[in-house]
Structure 1
Amino acid sequence: MRIKIFFIGLLLHLCVSAVAQKASQFKGSLIYTLGPDTSSVGNFELNGNKFMLTVVSMSPYVNVSKLKGAFFPDGQLMYVEGNNYNPARGKDSLLYAYKLNYDKDTTIIETRSKNRISTHKYPVKIMVANNLGGDALVFMPALLANFAPKRVGDSVISSHIVFNSARKFIIKKTGDRKLLLGSSVMGMFTIFLDKNGRMQSVDGIGTSFNIKGTAGKYLNIDSVIASNVKQQQLHPRLAIINKLDSVKTTINAAAVKIIYSRPSVRDRVIFGEVVPWNRIWRTGADAATKISLSKPLYFNGKELPAGAYSIFTIPTQNGWTLIFNKQANIWGTEHNADYDFLKVPMLIQALNEPVELLTFTIDAADNNGGVISVSWDKLKASVSFTTVP
């Protein structure tokens, strides 16, 4: 009888192990779009705790990142190695190679190019890092979804290496088939899962990337690379650049300057999609838009003291709210409401002609005052100020 029980137990153990192993063996593809354009395509594969990624970026030229590695049981990175290259350049196409190892409570990342080797050490375990190859960062969610918590409301906390420092990285289960995943710099991606817990689609609107993704079957990635290299040669793409710009003026001895990055419309639906309604927006691209004042300004009688502030807005269909935040030098997704200093309403108006590049203006007005405006696509939002109480 005991022998029979033993073999039944062994059989159950093997069945459970087989199910667990099957649950962590899968592969597929992910296609990201930026507005009407495909921005990157990649294959992902997980076999136990080992993984592989091949990511093909499309703009402005075809760039490929290949990496392989292994996770700890909780989804944090044990080791990674890979490289990044330009397939159109032949034998000289390698741009850089990289390695990650976790050893003695330290994550070590080494990056090698033709002329340089750099090594950085971080006293944490991590799940993602910006310096592990091109767009590979935004393909990691397809693998990390496998390590999400099981209960709705629970979270997994790790780190994201960016700007040569560790930021908190989180995977939170917000619904039976829904996750939030990201960091303050990366932004929070919404992950939609299928019935098996695999990524089905991803919404990255409002993140640093403003992309959407759809998962599918494993692709012949060599064919994807070859066809895109050919397409690049026939029809070269323009780089997607958020132009850094500034505007400044002096009104009644008060110098006012705004520094910002200018995203373009690029045939996208901006307000309500790229810029969701009723949500904090960096009001620009990349680093947070920054305003500097040599003297105080007054908005509806409320003082904004001299100094530097980051600018955020909350666009709604009926009007906007302009926010001045005391953290002046931050990335655009790192808004922290604890540092909000002043909030003022903005008036909106429809434009007859669309504005392709987001544009700030500062115009003088009567009574020692002025108007700050931001225009993009077919909307303009404005707020008046004075230089005296």
Structure 2
Amino acid sequence: MRRLMLGFLAVAGCGPSQPAEHFGFITRLGNDTISVENVVRRGDTLTIDGVDRFPRVRQRHANITLTPDGSIRRLVMDITTPSEPANERVRHIVADVTRDSVLMTKRDSAGYTRWAFSHGSEPVVAHVPQMYSLYELYFSAALARPAVSTTPAADTVPLRQFYIDREFDRFPLGHATVRRLPGNKADVWHDWLSGVGEATLDSSHRLLRYTGARTTYKVDVTRISEPANIQAIGAQFATLETKNGVSQLSVRDTTRARIGPATFAVDYGRPLARGRKLLGGVVPFDYVWRTGANAATQFRTSAPITLAGIAVPPGTYTLWTIPREKGGADLIVNKQSGQWGTDYDGARDLGTAPMQTETPSAPVDRFTIS
């Protein structure tokens, strides 16, 4: 009888395994696909396979275990970057989250490197740009917590995040905040995101759609229910990278000119339309725009000049623009330089002047200053 009872307990303890949920995400910048992910979730464990080009092509395989509150307990990720030298191509990352610390280990051709960071009592999540399966964990971990406000639009939840793609000694734990919004929506901002991203969720806090329209990364993310062929997509991305080289999504360029005795140079990012409407779409009307992409558009003049009626002494400045919905635009010359394109400080303006606009005879896909 004793043997029978023990056998019964062993069988009862095994129980049926939890059913697997299969889903994924596709990330697009205009009409260009820049990231694809497949996810298999069983309860509190996830297996993720993905590929992105941001800007280098990277293939990822990750296994994640969550705590009951949705925070990460353990993450193991293998990252392959085909364009890197052979001895730097593969990295193995392990993150273990304890009650008060995040313990990180990186293994590559140089050996093992380890770090430890204190995280306090806030939920801990991982961050990889363009890996939106991790963004789903942001939202589910934050929104699973009891509401702290009777006004949903004012209810925010702080998180801590570790950045997989950076050197951990130079980029320790960052801060993130998720805010509940009405209508199954939420937004997020964090230390590695310029602006605020917005998510549409279902009643179980699954990420259905994400838009970066109010961020530097103007991406659109959609959930998929059928698995994508990650290997084939990764091979296609790698082939294009081998053919065209590694390039930023918005390349940097410089325009030079001579104006009388002055040597004049403009350094700027060149966004692509990618099938999108730029003015009045990606670039909203009646707001200050960086006049390019990524870092602020910067210019230097070696001698005094007059630019659109603004007297500009020799030096380095940034150029900003306000496209107007009713036509025309305002040009702003600002005395600050070297900053990111979202760091505009109007108190440091040298001057503002109206500009005339005209429609080109043929569509232009890449932004150009000439």
When the two structures are superposed, what TM-score results if normalisation uses the length of structure 2?
A: 0.70
**CA separation in 2, counterparts of 1:325 and 1:148?**
39
* Aligned residue number for residue 367 of structure 1: none
**CA separation in 2, counterparts of 1:71 and 1:309?**
48
1:54 to 49, 52, 55: 49
Q: Please list the CA deviations of residues 330-361 of structure 1 after superposition, one character each: whole Å capped at 9, or x if unmatched.
A: 333x4254665354443322111333332223
* Aligned residue number for residue 146 of structure 1: 140
Q: Please list the CA deviations of residues 14-65 of structure 1 after superposition, one character each: whole Å capped at 9, or x if unmatched.
A: xxxxxxxx9xx96632111222233222134566655443223368997421
Q: Please list the CA deviations of residues 65-87 of structure 1 after superposition, one character each: whole Å capped at 9, or x if unmatched.
A: 12233456766555422012369
Equivalence map 1:39-118=2 (5 Å): 39-44=34-39, 50-57=45-52, 63-70=58-65, 77-85=72-80, 95-102=90-97, 107-115=102-110, 117-118=112-113
2:177 to 170, 182, 185: 170
Q: Identity, % of aligned pairs?
A: 22
Q: Please list the CA deviations of residues 303-356 of structure 1 after superposition, one character each: whole Å capped at 9, or x if unmatched.
A: 666544444433333233444555523333x42546653544433221113333
Paired AA for residue 129 in structure 1: H
Matched, 1:348 2:357: yes
C-alpha displacement of 1:189? 1.5
**CA separation in 2, counterparts of 1:31 and 1:341?**
40
**CA separation in 2, counterparts of 1:358 and 1:344?**
21
Contact 1:326 / 1:339 at 8 angstroms: preserved in 2? no
C-alpha displacement of 1:146? 0.9
When the two structures are superposed, what TM-score results if normalisation uses the length of structure 1?
A: 0.67
Could you tell me which runs of 5 or more consecutive residues in structure 1 were left unpaired when the two chains were aligned: 1-21, 362-389
> Which secondary structure state, in structure 2, belongs to the residue aligned with residue 142 of structure 1?
helix
Q: Please list the CA deviations of residues 236-279 of structure 1 after superposition, one character each: whole Å capped at 9, or x if unmatched.
A: 87565332221234545554432122233344433333333344
Contact 2:28 / 2:221 at 8 angstroms: preserved in 1? yes
Size of the alignment, in residue pairs?
A: 329
Greater fraction strand: 1
- RMSD value, Cα: 4.1
Paired AA for residue 148 in structure 1: A
**CA separation in 1, counterparts of 2:126 and 2:193?**
10
Could you tell me which runs of 5 or more consecutive residues in structure 2 were left unpaired when the two chains were aligned: 1-17
Paired AA for residue 233 in structure 2: N
> Which secondary structure state, in structure 1, belongs to the residue aligned with residue 295 of structure 2?
coil
C-alpha displacement of 1:193? 1.9
**CA separation in 1, counterparts of 2:174 and 2:348?**
21
Matched, 1:38 2:33: yes
Contact 1:108 / 1:121 at 8 angstroms: preserved in 2? yes
Contact 2:125 / 2:137 at 8 angstroms: preserved in 1? no
Matched, 1:328 2:337: yes
> Which secondary structure state, in structure 2, belongs to the residue aligned with residue 360 of structure 1?
coil
Q: Please list the CA deviations of residues 99-139 of structure 1 after superposition, one character each: whole Å capped at 9, or x if unmatched.
A: 23446855454433334655556555753434xxx742x43
1:86 to 1:352, Cα distance in 2 relative to 1, 3 A: same
